[in-house]
Amino acid sequence: MSPGRERGLTALLCAAGAGLVLLAAGRVWATVRAAGAITPFTEHVTGRDLGGAAGALGLAALAGLAALFATRGRVRQAVGALLAAFGAGAVYASVTSVQRDHVLDVAGDKRALLKLGAAAAMDVNLWWMVSVTGGVLLVLAGLAVLARSTRWPGMSSRYERADAPAPAAPRDDDAAGLWKSLDRGEDPTAGDGPAPAERRR
């Protein structure tokens, strides 16, 4: 596989991981039901409600994706290490967010009745696993950058700023010749033709 294709596939892996984490963050991760409360209720809790750390790491991974194309060498490897760290952090945040005590605390902040001693039942769906999957993909993308990015091409040369050529310094003999022609009454702007005074004769 060519280095350019490796870089493209790794970028797709990173984009897929970040996309899954961000997609899952806005979905309902858990549902809390309190049938024995004074007023029975059902509370839906999203990934953002449970802290939003995974979603923030997904956004950071998108920034890292852009840096994959703008950097090279050791800087690009540092970006790979950050991507792996973002992915591991998203996995950890997703797993800890759906722990029962944490979910009940968040639901209790949204519903005061839950804090009045109502017996609550909690159901967790699979969206948190989608976030975990995205985090794992980010870890794999980061490790691929660390292992293979030294072979990858940098940004295309058309995006790099070309140095403007330095203006040519005036030559001393050209300046001297210009003054001599003015002393003889010649028009330096007239090219090789005769001076105006010579044409009138």
Tokens of 134: 């995205």
| C-alpha gyration radius of the chain | 34
Per-position DSSP letters for 128-188, written without gaps between them: HHHHHHHHHHHHHHHHHHHHHGGGS--S-GGGSPPPPPPPPPPPHHHHHHHHHHHHTT--G
Higher pLDDT, 118 or 166: 118
pLDDT tens readout for residues 142-155:
999 988 877 777 65
How far is it, in rounded angstroms, from Cα 122 to Cα 100? 7
Average pLDDT (44-51) is 89
pLDDT > 90: percent of the chain = 35
Higher pLDDT, 93 or 150: 93
Residue 199 pLDDT: 47
Q: Which residues contact 2 (CB under 8 A, 6 or more apart)?
A: none
Residue 180 pLDDT: 67
Residue 57 pLDDT: 94
Residue 105 pLDDT: 84
Higher pLDDT, 48 or 193: 48
Q: Which domains does the chain have, with CATH numbers?
A: 3-151 (1.20.140), 173-201 (no CATH)
Average pLDDT (85-99) is 94
Higher pLDDT, 40 or 174: 40
